[in-house]
Structure 1
């Protein structure tokens, strides 16, 4: 796996990788992470992948982190952990 870029953002750490014919977009916030795989056949360049990371995509991913944290906490609560 080759790291292509760290993309600065105040809400999450965003890293772009290239691996096995795919671009991987990895977003991290605290202990949670989301990874999106984009086939190199579906885009023409790394610039296209960066274009996918628009405000709407990032806002949805950040909201998803909130839901992920809530889901994890609910699981802890259900099992008294």
Structure 2
């Protein structure tokens, strides 16, 4: 696995990786992680094209997913505490 880029963002850690014929967009916030895999064959503009996908609407939706993940984990922990 090769790190293509670390992309700065004030709220989340963003890493673009290349591995096994795929680009991996890895987003991290606290203990949570989201990974998006895209075949290199689907990307005509290489890693620069993938970087353009990381626009504000995509990142805002990803942050909302992180919040939903946290809520989901919290809810299951509450359900199973005795």
- SS of structure 2 residue aligned to 1:41: helix
DSSP-derived class of the 2:33 partner? strand
Secondary structure of the residue aligned to 2:42 is: coil
Give the SS at the match of 1:71.
helix
**4+ residue stretches of structure 1 with deviation over 3 A?**
none
Instruction: Confirm or deny that 1:47 pairs with 2:66.
Output: no
Long gaps (5+) in structure 1: none
Alignment coverage as a number of residue pairs: 81
Q: How far off is 1:4 after superposition?
A: 0.8
SS of equivalent to 1:77: helix
Q: Distance in 1 between matches of 2:5 and 2:76?
A: 34
For structure 2, the residue ranges without an aligned partner over 5 or more in a row are none
Q: TM-score, normalised by structure 1?
A: 0.97
Inter-partner Cα distance in structure 2 for 1:49 and 1:75 = 35
